[in-house]
């Protein structure tokens, strides 16, 4: 009997230990922790990948401005027609090459051109981009002429060579030939799509190893004439891969790999970390993918003890149009498995020690209890049957020494069994994990629970028992399952009796009528995750959605739901700059917050509200039966905004003011990006016309004026680079047929700005007419100076903006620069409603100082009438082409012209007739004795001034 009892108690003890083992190891607890550490590895590699990708795309390879500069100089010097000018071009751009080397923060920069004698160019190196010497002594010339080294005052490298030894089939020359050949084979592709990242190579045998980014050079006819680019030493790149971030003890490393999908070859381009040198010695490396997130386990490495985990992240360096898209770059982070899972091992060891101690104590108790049983215990069995298993056993004394001893022993054993039953709870408490376990069997009325099971649920175990009614436990579990958390598997939201919310993870296993389960408090994890998601999606100042979240939610609505009438509304705060400038940015932020608080009130409607930038708010109002309902909501928003104010320190109350733009779904578009663009345009229109009101998108206005909204950068580029040429149209003497003067006419050289009208309108909207006035004067005179022989003794008429004149500083520079030509120019002015009397007066003074005259343009157009003539007192009057057109047939036009001629001749004002397009018009003008003529019949505007046709000259002389 003694052996049977001991055996039974041993089984009970083992079951309890097994229950604990199942609770800990049978669920997903350990695996979840393992997964979390794998996620940490993946996240670190992804962050490093993002930093590296950003550097490669946004900084190192951002060389389009430099490329455009080379194109401009290549064209200006005429290198295409005369390749012998290549050395002059290289010498001219030398300082710009140094500037871009510094600006890009790279170690290499090069320009290589196809010359008569082979490849000519310049190649510079700066081994430490973080240090810039004032005298350029830290830069080395690798390839190029000694004259360039002397000009830049930089030393020659020990591996210097004048020539580029490039051959098409040599791997060292791929950085040149790959983009060069691709450009020739793909003339339709954008140059940016032809950029090429090379694999590591050396310029010469003993040189440092480098990786380059190359871009082909094309002339204006699309012909490829060379390659330019930047480079980085692999040592410099290695320092960018901070391997010590992977693990505290530096037992990890990075590799930057390049995979050629065409030939199936994978090469390590760059590595960092001393462990790589050990790892790379292995000749037998096998790996397997262990999850869907590109985490790999590398085994059988003969140089490193144990396995290695690796996370691989691809770099998106090429567009889908690129001919090099088959060359895939990836960043891989490696860490020893033993180091990655070291914290998990320590937890498991602690658990096993607890299990072992529990077994020792339990076994000792079982054997001690068994040794006390000495006689048959019928009375004892009756006491056990009648006893409560949750309470200590009490056996009646028989006054028989042996049975009483047996009874005492049984009582003692019972207490130890109850103690053993709580071992699982004690062990869980020892590892300090918020875990509770339970077990029940279908055919039994009782269920087992650990102590912490009750505390996790916010329940009180007043009797401190581990066995409860099974029906009570099942009821608790069913209640928990009523409140699952969306998008989180096995996670439930529980409201405790004290009113606090918590999140529990519930895992259950059922086998042969036995149910084992574990609950874990994951409140901190869920709250942390939700906080991260909230901060990711919300603006920190207003707590409204940010741009990314707004775009995601609106696109989701547009793509997945069938919506009724909807609108995107953009509010732009009107007084923010005033508040910032007057009261400081703290009150500017409060002004923004006040506006946000008003807009939050409208979440009661079908709205998605966000703050897109500093003073811009976007609202998506969706799924209404007609537009009137939405317009009513928008008007309420405006009224609420205008009814709010900000109290500022001086006691003033500043009212919230905003201008609004609206675009409609589906009438204007069903595409998110187009709706945003149209809303932005509608707001821009109202901001520049009826500030403080609301404007709805109009497609006709957009087609007409979209350049005013989206042309800011184009205008800046136009002004900064003086992207303009000037054509010259002859003004002909009506008596002799000789050319008296040329009018300088602007010809913009950018893609979006097609005409001078576009330039003036856009500059006016951006308050940059001054810059246009400056460009016109300086660039016209530069062109005149360059083509001086073609002008002979002719004057140059230059159009001037009526309400702008140059500053004294710019006028001094202009006068000094073009002093010898000032008496040849005529300042041509079109008076309008914005004319500035002070500006006009200054131009009159300067014309007198320069020994030249003013001309009144477009006389008779509406703006320029008799009053303009009196105010300006010009030497020349140009008759508007609308009067000249058809003058040979129109008596009224003839009378009007005769009156103008009569007035001007009495005051010694010369008359120029514009817009002459037919022989008959010219004949009638000569008959009326007009002084000068200008128009397409006499000569079209040309970049190089031309004389008029001899036949036309004879016609004039014979009339």
Q: CA-CA distance, 271 to 82, in Å (whole number)?
A: 46
Can you read off the two tokens belonging to residue 654?
A: 């500043």
Can you read off the two tokens belonging to residue 336?
A: 């020893």
Q: Which residues of 165-187 are buried (b: 16+ CB within 10 A; e: fewer)?
A: ebeeeeebbbbbbbbbbbbeeee
pLDDT band, residue 833 (cuts 50/70/90): very low
Please check whether residue 74 is in contact with residue 198, taking contact to mean a CB–CB distance below 8 angstroms: no
pLDDT value, residue 824: 93
pLDDT value, residue 385: 53
Can you read off the two tokens belonging to residue 799?
A: 């159009």
Residue (of 243, 143, 161, 159) closest to 205 by Cα position: 159
pLDDT band, residue 911 (cuts 50/70/90): very high
Please indicate whether residue 362 or residue 263 has the higher confidence score (pLDDT). Answer: 263
Can you read off the two tokens belonging to residue 328?
A: 């895939």
Rounded to a whole number of angstroms, the CA Rg of the chain reads: 43
Share of the chain above pLDDT 70, in %: 85
pLDDT at 279 over 60: yes
Residue (of 304, 313, 353, 306) closest to 333 by Cα position: 313
Q: CA-CA distance, 536 to 530, in Å (whole number)?
A: 10
pLDDT in tens, 17-41: 666 666 566 556 667 777 777 888 8
Least confident of 288-297, 411-420, 451-460, 935-944: 411-420
Please indicate whether residue 14 or residue 479 has the higher confidence score (pLDDT). Answer: 479
Residue (of 865, 817, 867, 822) closest to 843 by Cα position: 822
Residue (of 122, 124, 127) closest to 162 by Cα position: 122
The total number of residues shown for the chain amounts to 959
Q: CA-CA distance, 269 to 473, in Å (whole number)?
A: 60
pLDDT at 652 over 90: no
Average confidence score pLDDT of the chain: 83
φ and ψ of 29, to 5 deg: -60, -55
pLDDT band, residue 479 (cuts 50/70/90): confident
pLDDT value, residue 410: 61
Where do runs of H (alpha helix) occur along 77-124? 86-92, 94-104
Mean pLDDT of 753-782: 87
Structure-token match 């592709």, residue found = 189
Per-residue DSSP letters for 121-150? EEEEE-S-TT---TTSTT-EEEES-HHHHH
Residue (of 783, 812, 810, 809) closest to 798 by Cα position: 783
pLDDT value, residue 123: 95
pLDDT at 701 over 70: yes
Q: CA-CA distance, 952 to 938, in Å (whole number)?
A: 7
State whether the Cα torsion 912-915-920-924 is positive or negative: negative
Look at strands 853-859 and 876-879 and give their pairing.
Answer: parallel
Residue (of 397, 309, 353) closest to 34 by Cα position: 309
Can you read off the two tokens belonging to residue 906?
A: 């009495």
pLDDT at 375 over 90: no
Please check whether residue 503 is in contact with residue 492, taking contact to mean a CB–CB distance below 8 angstroms: yes
pLDDT in tens, 848-873: 999 999 999 888 765 555 667 777 88
Q: CA-CA distance, 914 to 936, in Å (whole number)?
A: 9
Residue (of 662, 675, 691) closest to 569 by Cα position: 662
pLDDT at 782 over 90: yes
pLDDT value, residue 513: 81
pLDDT band, residue 177 (cuts 50/70/90): very high
The highest-confidence range among 17-26, 408-417, 609-618, 816-825, by mean pLDDT, is 816-825
Whole-Å CA distances, 296 to 38, 288, 334, 710: 10, 6, 9, 47
Please indicate whether residue 30 or residue 623 has the higher confidence score (pLDDT). Answer: 623
pLDDT band, residue 629 (cuts 50/70/90): very high
State whether the Cα torsion 346-350-353-359 is positive or negative: negative
Please indicate whether residue 581 or residue 286 has the higher confidence score (pLDDT). Answer: 581
pLDDT at 187 over 80: yes
For residue 841, the SS3 value is helix
pLDDT value, residue 25: 60
State whether the Cα torsion 29-31-37-43 is positive or negative: negative
pLDDT value, residue 497: 67
pLDDT value, residue 366: 62
Please check whether residue 458 is in contact with residue 480, taking contact to mean a CB–CB distance below 8 angstroms: no
Q: Which residues contact 632 (CB under 8 A, 6 or more apart)?
A: none
pLDDT in tens, 528-554: 777 777 777 888 888 888 888 899 899
Mean pLDDT of 338-348: 74
pLDDT in tens, 52-69: 999 998 889 888 889 999
Residue 85 has what DSSP assignment?
G
pLDDT value, residue 809: 92
pLDDT at 754 over 70: yes
Residue 741 has what DSSP assignment?
E
Q: CA-CA distance, 918 to 913, in Å (whole number)?
A: 13
φ and ψ of 723, to 5 deg: -80, 70
pLDDT at 2 over 60: no
Helix (H) / strand (E) element for 1: namely none
Helix (H) / strand (E) element for 209: namely strand 209-218
pLDDT in tens, 402-456: 556 656 666 665 555 455 445 555 555 555 567 888 888 888 888 888 877 777 7
Query: What predicted TM-score, i.e. pTM, was given to this entire model?
Result: 0.40
pLDDT in tens, 687-697: 877 888 898 98
Q: Which residues contact 596 (CB under 8 A, 6 or more apart)?
A: 541, 542, 543, 544, 611, 617
Whole-Å CA distances, 610 to 538, 636, 669, 734, 916: 8, 18, 21, 67, 58
Per-residue DSSP letters for 600-658? HGGGGSSEEEEE-SSSEEEEEEEEESSHHHHHHHHHHHHHHHHT-EEE-TTS-EEEP-E
pLDDT band, residue 482 (cuts 50/70/90): confident
Mean pLDDT of 223-251: 89
Vertex 83, ends 77 and 88: CA angle to 5°?
A: 50
Q: Which residues contact 163 (CB under 8 A, 6 or more apart)?
A: 118, 119, 143
pLDDT at 485 over 90: no
pLDDT value, residue 284: 45
Residue 350 has what DSSP assignment?
H
pLDDT at 389 over 80: no
pLDDT value, residue 396: 61
Cβ neighbours around 542 below 10 Å, total: 21
pLDDT value, residue 283: 45
Q: Which residues contact 13 (CB under 8 A, 6 or more apart)?
A: 359, 362, 363, 366, 420
Mean pLDDT of 896-909: 90
Please indicate whether residue 461 or residue 196 has the higher confidence score (pLDDT). Answer: 196
């Amino acid at each position: 009997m003694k052996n049977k009892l001991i055996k039974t108690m041993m089984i009970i003890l083992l079951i309890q230990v097994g229950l604990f083992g199942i609770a800990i190891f049978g669920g997903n607890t350990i695996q979840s922790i393992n997964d979390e550490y794998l996620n940490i590895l993946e996240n670190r590699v992804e962050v490093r990948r993002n930093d590296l990708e950003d550097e490669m795309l946004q900084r190192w390879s951002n060389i389009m401005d430099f490329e455009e500069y080379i194109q401009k100089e290549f064209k200006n010097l005429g290198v295409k027609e005369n390749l012998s000018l290549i050395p002059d071009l290289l010498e001219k751009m030398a300082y710009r090459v140094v500037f871009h080397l510094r600006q890009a923060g790279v170690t290499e920069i090069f320009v290589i051109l196809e010359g008569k004698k082979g490849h000519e160019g310049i190649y510079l190196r700066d081994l430490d981009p973080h240090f810039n010497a004032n005298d350029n002594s830290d830069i080395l010339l690798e390839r190029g002429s000694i004259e360039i080294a002397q000009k830049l005052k930089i030393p020659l490298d020990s591996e210097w060579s004048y020539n580029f030894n490039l051959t098409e089939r040599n791997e060292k020359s791929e950085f040149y030939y790959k983009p060069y050949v691709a450009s020739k084979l793909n003339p339709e592709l954008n140059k940016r799509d032809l950029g090429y990242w090379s694999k590591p190579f050396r310029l010469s045998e003993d040189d440092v190893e480098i990786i380059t980014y190359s871009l082909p050079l094309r002339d204006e006819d699309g012909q490829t004439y060379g390659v330019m680019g930047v480079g980085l030493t692999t040592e410099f790149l290695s320092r960018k891969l901070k391997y010590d971030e992977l693990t505290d003890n530096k037992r990890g490393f990075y590799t930057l790999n390049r995979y050629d999908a065409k030939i199936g070859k994978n090469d390590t381009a760059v590595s960092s970390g001393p462990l790589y040198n050990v790892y790379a010695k292995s000749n037998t490396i096998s790996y397997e993918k262990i999850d869907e997130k590109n985490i790999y386990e590398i085994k059988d490495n003969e140089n490193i003890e144990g396995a290695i985990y690796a996370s691989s992240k691809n770099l998106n360096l090429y567009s889908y149009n690129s001919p090099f898209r088959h060359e895939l770059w990836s960043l891989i982070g490696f860490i020893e498995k033993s180091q990655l899972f070291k914290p998990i091992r320590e937890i498991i060891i602690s658990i096993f020690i607890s299990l072992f101690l529990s077994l020792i104590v339990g076994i000792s108790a079982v054997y001690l209890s068994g040794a006390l049983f000495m006689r048959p215990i019928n009375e004892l069995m009756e006491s056990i049957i009648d006893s409560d298993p949750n309470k200590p056993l009490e056996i009646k004394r028989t006054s028989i020494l042996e049975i009483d001893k047996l009874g005492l022993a049984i009582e003692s054993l019972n207490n130890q069994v109850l103690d053993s039953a709580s071992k699982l709870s004690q062990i869980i408490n020892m590892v300090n994990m918020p875990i509770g376990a339970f077990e029940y069997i279908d055919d039994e009325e009782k269920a087992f629970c650990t102590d912490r099971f009750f505390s996790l649920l916010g329940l009180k175990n007043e009797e401190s028992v581990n066995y409860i009614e099974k029906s009570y436990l099942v009821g608790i579990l069913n209640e928990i399952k009523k409140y699952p958390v969306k998008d989180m598997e096995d996670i439930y939201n529980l409201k405790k009796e004290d009113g606090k919310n918590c999140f529990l993870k519930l895992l259950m296993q059922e086998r042969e009528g036995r149910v084992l389960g574990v609950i874990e408090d994951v409140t901190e994890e869920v709250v942390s995750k939700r906080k991260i998601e909230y901060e990711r999606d919300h603006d920190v100042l207003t707590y409204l959605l940010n741009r990314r979240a707004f775009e995601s939610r609106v696109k989701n609505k547009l793509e997945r739901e069938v919506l009724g009438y909807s609108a995107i509304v953009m509010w732009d705060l009107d007084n923010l700059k005033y508040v910032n400038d007057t009261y400081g940015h703290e009150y500017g932020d409060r002004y923004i917050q006040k506006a946000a608080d008003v807009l939050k009130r409208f979440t009661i409607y079908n709205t998605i509200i966000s703050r897109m930038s500093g003073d811009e708010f976007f609202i998506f109002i969706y799924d209404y039966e007609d537009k009137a309902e939405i317009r009513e909501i928008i008007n309420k928003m405006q009224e609420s905004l205008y009814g709010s104010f900000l109290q500022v320190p001086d006691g003033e109350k500043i009212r919230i003011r905003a201008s609004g733009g609206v675009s409609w779904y589906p009438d204007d578009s069903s595409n998110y990006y187009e709706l945003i663009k149209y809303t932005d345009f509608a707001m821009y229109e109202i901001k520049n016309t009826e500030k403080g009101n609301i404007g709805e998108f109009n497609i006709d206005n957009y087609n007409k004026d979209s350049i005013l909204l989206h042309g800011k950068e184009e205008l800046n580029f136009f002004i900064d680079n003086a992207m303009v040429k000037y054509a010259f149209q002859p003004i002909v003497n009506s008596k002799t047929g000789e050319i008296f003067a040329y009018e300088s006419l602007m010809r913009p050289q950018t893609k979006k700005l097609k005409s001078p009208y576009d330039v003036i309108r856009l500059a006016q909207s951006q308050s940059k007419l001054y810059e246009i006035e400056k460009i016109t004067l300086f660039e016209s005179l530069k062109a005149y100076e360059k083509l001086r022989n073609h002008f002979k003794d002719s004057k140059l008429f230059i159009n001037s903006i009526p309400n702008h004149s140059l500053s004294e500083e710019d006028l001094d520079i202009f006068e000094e620069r073009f002093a010898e030509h000032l008496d040849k120019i005529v300042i041509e002015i079109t008076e309008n409603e914005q004319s500035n009397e002070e500006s006009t007066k200054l131009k009159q003074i300067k014309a007198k100082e320069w020994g030249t005259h003013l001309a009144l343009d477009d006389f008779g157009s509406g703006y320029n009438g008799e009053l303009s003539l009196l105010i300006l007192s010009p030497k020349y009057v140009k008759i508007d082409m609308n009067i000249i057109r058809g003058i040979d047939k129109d008596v009224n036009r003839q009378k009007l012209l005769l009156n103008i001629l009569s007035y001007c001749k009495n005051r010694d004002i010369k008359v120029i007739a514009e817009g002459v397009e037919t022989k008959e018009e010219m004949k009638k003008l000569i008959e009326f004795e007009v002084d000068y003529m200008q128009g397409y019949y006499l000569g079209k505007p040309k970049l190089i001034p031309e004389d008029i046709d001899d036949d036309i000259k004879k016609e004039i002389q014979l009339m």
